[in-house]
Chain A
Amino acid sequence: MDRTRIRSGLDADRISNLPTNVIDNILKFLPLHDTVRTSVLSKGWQYKWVNVPYLAFDWTFKENLSGEHNIESIIYQVLLLHKGPIVKFTLGFFYFDFYPSINNWLFFLSDHRVEELHLSYSSSDVRRAISHHLFTFDHLKHLILTNVVIRPPSTFKGFGRLVSLDLIRVEFEPEELNMFTSKCPMLEYLNLDFSIASWFRHLDIDAPNLKSFCFWGILSSIYFKNATYLGEMSITCFPILRRHTTSEAGDDDRNMIKILGQLSSITRLCCNNHFLQLLTKGGVPHKLPVNLNNMRDLVLSITGFGFEAEVRGVLCLITSSPNLQRLQITSANAPAEDMLSTIEFLKKAQQETEIPLCRLDTVTIRGFSYWVDEKEFLKRLLSAATVLRRLELHSAYHLSEEEQREISEELLSFRRASSQVEIVFQDPAVI
């Protein structure tokens, strides 16, 4: 008797009797195929799936389908049966012939309080403008668009709740992007990944709550209008022309101050050599007028330590960041025409100016070659960093133990502000 009771306790259908919110949330973690199949489990389950607030027509969904099913009609079927809010909607792939349908789906979704929307067109060859219904999603918090063109209509009121925006290979006019971001006052995260906008003549970022900005693509100038909270910035950019001109007629502004002068909250800056070149356009000041007191991490890529403008830019960044803790420089080791004048500059800087580096703990050099220019740069750092603990050198080519010892000894023989520097070599294999 007792045994049967225990057995029946273990065999009880517990999942069907869970509170509705728990079941809904379990179904949220399942791919759409599994969610829909639960409708056949029992009559109690028949309509549970229609309330699940996440709908993902993503690659998992597509891979589970054989060719005989029409994706468009499945999407229509699911949308028609669905009840209640759709918090998250993903269309991870779509094709040309979906366009009329996408218009309908977005119109349907626009009054479903969608908070997170991912739309991705399958090909990057031809882009088409995304339906204007998108611009009426008032509840949107996260938006990811891939391989489309966005043309916000003039009536666009903005996304008042949008927190994060990812535009991947998305085409737009720079003025439109500027207008778009300025109408998203809550925006904290902005990622522009290989997005092309008529050569990006100029990019204005006006986002008062922006905390993180990532950019990858072509850029000729950028300006942050209202970015008091911007903490992390990562920019990998490429110039419009193959040969980047450092002096353009009429452009005598100091970009360094114009671009970075407003970013008082920045904690981490990650950028490539072209962005450094862009920063140094119009000349490099010894330091910025206002210190970047929150800067902890600088991750910089340079063409080589012999390029005077880039080295001046790096030094200006370091000098303006009194609380810097970690510095990482990746050098492409390209030989520079102006190497001699760069060395001259570094030597002069050594005697003339003080860099306040009392927090710098770790310096990492990737593509370490120990050319004269690089040596002078390290000399400059060693003489200023009072608590430097670790100097990590990832060499561009193999160094024998003997060579490593010699380099270490020489580096440690320079005038050094910190008594505890440990020099660590890493072979190219582990870069």
Chain B
Amino acid sequence: MARKNRNPVGKNVDPEAQKKKTRTLTLKSSDGQEFSISESAAVLSIAIENMVEDDCAGGVIPLPLVDGGTLARVITYLNKHAEDGASDEEKRKFDEEFVSGMEMGVLFDVVLAANYLDIRGLLREVRRRIADRMKNKSVEWVRKTFHIESDFTPEEEEQMKKEFAWAWEGVDSDVDD
């Protein structure tokens, strides 16, 4: 009876999925750093999955648009999401912590990498985080935080403010969060 419990009947192990777990790929960043990663984690990036499928990888996959520091971060994310037995709740918590500590510059590096590598979940998290930094903030605050230079004349700006006067309500006072 006990033995039967330890080997649950009907739980088929997909040999292809098993292979992906053991097979490793090498990713090469723009500055020449190489990283090993299991295929099952790497293919969470749709772009890498396509490269693997087209077999244009040849062992090392060059990623000329991602620098080493950013790639290391992305790989941490991929490994967590490919981890066996990580619950959805665990992954959600990880995602939150993963992006909450990032500085603005890093957020942009990661959002570009996630967009290029087509990693949907990561892209969504980082976009949400960037949006959170803009939420309820004044135009001046957003300009300052994101280094956006205005090329409107004060008159033009005043005119637009008038046109959308309603949108200027409900703004927090300018304090860094």
Residues of chain A having any CB pair with chain B under 8 Å = 10-16, 18-19, 21-22, 25-34, 36-43, 45-46, 63-66, 69, 74, 77
Given A39-B164, A42-B151; A30-B131 close (CB under 8 Å): yes
Chain A residues with CB below 8 A from B150, complex form: 40-42
CB-defined interface of B110-127 with A at 8 Å, one 1/0 digit per residue? Answer: 011001000000011001
The CA-CA distance from A42 to B153 in the complex, in Å, is 10
Chain B residues within CB distance 8 Å of chain A = 105, 108, 111-112, 115, 123-124, 127-128, 130-132, 134-137, 139, 142-143, 146-152, 157, 160-161, 164-171
Which of these, B111, B128, B137, B161, contacts A34 with CB under 8 Å?
Answer: B137
Write 21 A-B pairs (CB below 8 A) sorted by A numbering.
Answer: A10-B105, A13-B149, A14-B108, A22-B112, A25-B127, A26-B134, A29-B132, A30-B134, A32-B167, A33-B166, A33-B167, A34-B137, A37-B167, A40-B139, A40-B150, A40-B157, A40-B160, A41-B139, A42-B148, A42-B149, A64-B170
Q: How far is the CB of A62 from chain B (nearest CB, A)?
A: 10
* Docked pose: A155 CA to B73 CA in angstroms: 55
Contact A22–B105 (Cβ < 8 Å): no
Q: Provide the residues of chain B in CB contact with A34, threshold 8 Å.
A: 134-137
Contacts of A14 on B, CB cut-off 8 Å? 105, 108, 146-147
The closest CB in chain B to the CB of A70 belongs to B166
Q: Say whether A42 contacts B152, CB under 8 Å.
A: yes
Minimal Cβ-Cβ distance residue in A for B130 = A26
Contacts of A27 in B (CB 8 A): 131
12 further A-B contacts with Cβ under 8 Å, apart from A14-B108, A42-B149, A64-B170, are A10-B105, A14-B146, A14-B147, A15-B130, A15-B148, A25-B123, A25-B127, A31-B136, A36-B164, A42-B150, A65-B170, A74-B166
Which residue on chain A has the smallest CB distance to residue B145?
A15
A38 and B142 CA atoms in complex are apart in Å by 9
Q: Looking at the complex, which one of A16, A22, A65 makes contact with B169 (CB distance below 8 Å)?
A: A65
B115 touching A21, Cβ below 8 Å: yes
**Contact (Cβ within 8 A) B139 A37:** yes
Contact A22/B115 with A33-B167, A34-B136, A39-B164 known, Cβ cut-off 8 Å = yes
Please determine whether A40 and B152 come into contact, CB atoms closer than 8 angstroms.
yes
Q: Which of A14, A19, A77 has the most CB of B within 10 A?
A: A14
Smallest CB gap from B138: residue in A: A37
Contacts of B127 in A (CB 8 A): 22, 25-26, 28-29
Chain A residues whose CB sits within 8 angstroms of the CB of B164 once the complex forms: 36-37, 39, 77
Q: Which residue of B lies closest to A37 (CB)?
A: B167
CB of B32, distance to nearest CB on chain A (Å): 20
A128 to B166, CA, bound (A): 29
Q: What is the distance, in angstroms, from B42's C-beta to the closest C-beta of chain A?
A: 22
> Would you give the shortest CB distance from B125 to chain A, in whole angstroms?
11
Q: A10–B166 Cα gap in the complex (Å)? A: 34
Which of B134, B160, B169 gathers most chain A CB within 10 Å? B134
Within the assembled complex, what's the spacing in Å between the Cα atoms of A38 and B134?
9
A18-B165 contact, Cβ under 8 Å, with A25-B127, A41-B139, A42-B149 = no
Closest to B108 in A: A14
- For B171, the chain A residues whose CB sits under 8 A away are 33, 37
User: Which residues in A have their C-beta under 8 angstroms from that of B128?
Assistant: 29
Contact B168 A37 (CB under 8 A): yes
Q: Is the CB of B146 within 8 A of A13?
A: yes
**Once bound together, how far apart are the Cα atoms of A28 and B124, in whole Å?**
11
CB-defined contacts of A45 to chain B, threshold 8 Å: 148
Q: How many Å lie between the Cα of A31 and that of B137 in the bound state?
A: 11
